[in-house]
Amino acid sequence: MTNQNSNEHFDVIVVGGGPAGYAAALYGASAGLQIALVEKHKLGGTCLNVGCIPAKELLETAAVARTVEHANIFGVLAESKGLDWSKTLERKQGIVDQLVGGLGGLLKGRKVTVFEGLGTLGSDHKSVSITGGKSDGTRLTGDSVILAAGSVPRTMPGFPIDGQKIVTSDELLSIPELPESAVVIGGGAIGCEFASMMSDLGTKVTILEYAPKILPGCDIDAAKVVEKSFKKRGIDIQTGVAVKSQESNADGVTLTFGDNDEKITVETVVMSIGRRPLSETLGLENTQVKTDERGFIVIDEYCRTGVQGVWAIGDVVDTAQLAHIAFAEGMLVIKDILGEKAMPIDYSKAPWCIYCYPEVAFSGHTEESAKEAGFDIVVSKHRFMGNGRAMIVGETDGLVKVIAEKQADGTGGKILGVHMVGPWVTEQIGQGYLAVNWEATVDEVAQFIQPHPTISEVFGETVLSLTGRSLH
């Protein structure tokens, strides 16, 4: 990071060096803009340091453990001697450090000037003052300012985060030892990833979820596959229950939950109830930039705050809290700053990936939301059970579900939603997303040849069957 104490002027000042901020900085710099990036902690933000990357690395460790456990099915006589968790953490940290270091190099290569410290927006809306860190005392001015302060885990009153008995994702990803038993409060995407990872690595896991089902935003058929797999692996899932209180004791933590005040005692409680925006760090109280009652910065479809020259992107605004959405918003804003014709993001079609076992991926309408939106639909589902490659890999649980507009002859027209659960679906959703976002029709997509033998043949078969004809 740069150690500067001067007043400097830039085309664009970006506050926050997570995926939103660094995407805006890199994209803007590649378009020739002079960019300042202010980061108070670590480049890469949540995603690289305590989010996507470390979480997926630990899930891969879980996948390796599963492979070893089932190796004898393939005739490979392997026996696990357990888990060297410190080595696991070392590998995870190595990947994080490599990516964070690489990002620093990339920013330097693009001549983005990085300032270290807390950036607050001035009441003139054109200046950012930095306090703390190596750039303490620096005041920057810019023609445009992008606010990308990100988010932090939500917590519950009466549940103090001590990093050992009660943790959030921040602590769990570096926990010195995996607990023997854990409750995950919240069965959303991150909660299910953690439950899956810990269970595969030997922790007895219980999920307590307030909503009637786990993975609330997912299509019901996909969520059911995950629920069934979790239960088969010994994960206890309690839905429709509110966690009321906790009591720390010699055995760990006792939680009281549900209408009948049930109790459960575990070594560790993982709080996974969503993330709140970090807008309070930006000094907005002295500006005209507005936040809503939950702290999200209010924006329009171009991520403009309504104050001339100030944009906000990423987790600090009320759009899907995903790294790839943050990237997309970063690029959108740079185009807007450059005065180019920018296309607002269609958030309803954005791809979602959940890396638990089995994986989940989707884009567009669920069956339920398509009906609610008034579409007359046809639905096709194909399971991985009959797919050759899935059998070879030994992962036949799961399905592909495609939702399309119904044509007069009963066949599928425009593809409205693609939902996948099963092996490597996070790597397969690309073509589903392309179909949904391109507003492609069933006939158009059915023309495409799927390589054989691949797991992606199931997507091809599912679309093909909506033409009224099929193969397998």
* Residue 37 vs 243, nearer CB to ligand FAD: 37
| C-alpha–C-alpha distance, residues 200 and 194, integer Å | 10
Tell me the closest approach of the beta carbon of residue 189 to ligand FAD, in angstroms: 7
| C-alpha–C-alpha distance, residues 464 and 461, integer Å | 5
- How far from chain centre, in Å, is Cα 158? 27
* Residue 15 vs 403, nearer CB to ligand FAD: 15
Within a 10 A sphere around the Cβ of 462, how many other Cβ atoms? 26
* Residue 359 vs 457, nearer CB to ligand FAD: 359
Tell me the closest approach of the beta carbon of residue 327 to ligand FAD, in angstroms: 9
* Residue 350 vs 446, nearer CB to ligand FAD: 350
* Residue 277 vs 423, nearer CB to ligand FAD: 277
| C-alpha–C-alpha distance, residues 159 and 123, integer Å | 37
Tell me the closest approach of the beta carbon of residue 315 to ligand FAD, in angstroms: 4
State how far the alpha carbon of 373 is from the alpha carbons of 248, 304, 405, 440, in Å: 47, 28, 12, 19
Within a 10 A sphere around the Cβ of 111, how many other Cβ atoms? 10
Tell me the closest approach of the beta carbon of residue 207 to ligand FAD, in angstroms: 15
Find the catalytic residue in 9, 70, 452, 472.
452
Tell me the closest approach of the beta carbon of residue 396 to ligand FAD, in angstroms: 24
DSSP secondary structure letters along 272-339:
-S-EEE-GGGGTGGGSS--B-TTSPBP--TT-B-SSTTEEE-GGGBSS---HHHHHHHHHHHHHHHTT
Q: Which residues contact 250 (CB under 8 A, 6 or more apart)?
A: none
Tell me if 238 sits within 8 A of 187, measured CB to CB: no
* Residue 326 vs 418, nearer CB to ligand FAD: 326
Tell me the closest approach of the beta carbon of residue 449 to ligand FAD, in angstroms: 30
8 burial level (CB within 10 Å; 0-12, 13-18, 19+): middle
Tell me the closest approach of the beta carbon of residue 380 to ligand FAD, in angstroms: 28
Tell me the closest approach of the beta carbon of residue 92 to ligand FAD, in angstroms: 12
Tokens for 185? 């409060």
In one-letter notation, the amino acid at residue 319 is T
232 burial level (CB within 10 Å; 0-12, 13-18, 19+): exposed
Site residues (CB under 6 A) for ligand FAD? 15-21, 38-41, 45-47, 51-52, 55, 118-119, 148-151, 169, 190, 278, 281-282, 314-315, 321-324, 326
| C-alpha–C-alpha distance, residues 276 and 293, integer Å | 11
- The reply to whether 452 belongs to the active site is yes
* Residue 15 vs 310, nearer CB to ligand FAD: 15
Q: Are strands 166-167 and 118-121 parallel, antiparallel or unpaired?
A: unpaired
Tell me if 361 sits within 8 A of 429, measured CB to CB: yes
| C-alpha–C-alpha distance, residues 175 and 1, integer Å | 28
* Residue 195 vs 445, nearer CB to ligand FAD: 195
Point out the residues that are catalytic.
452
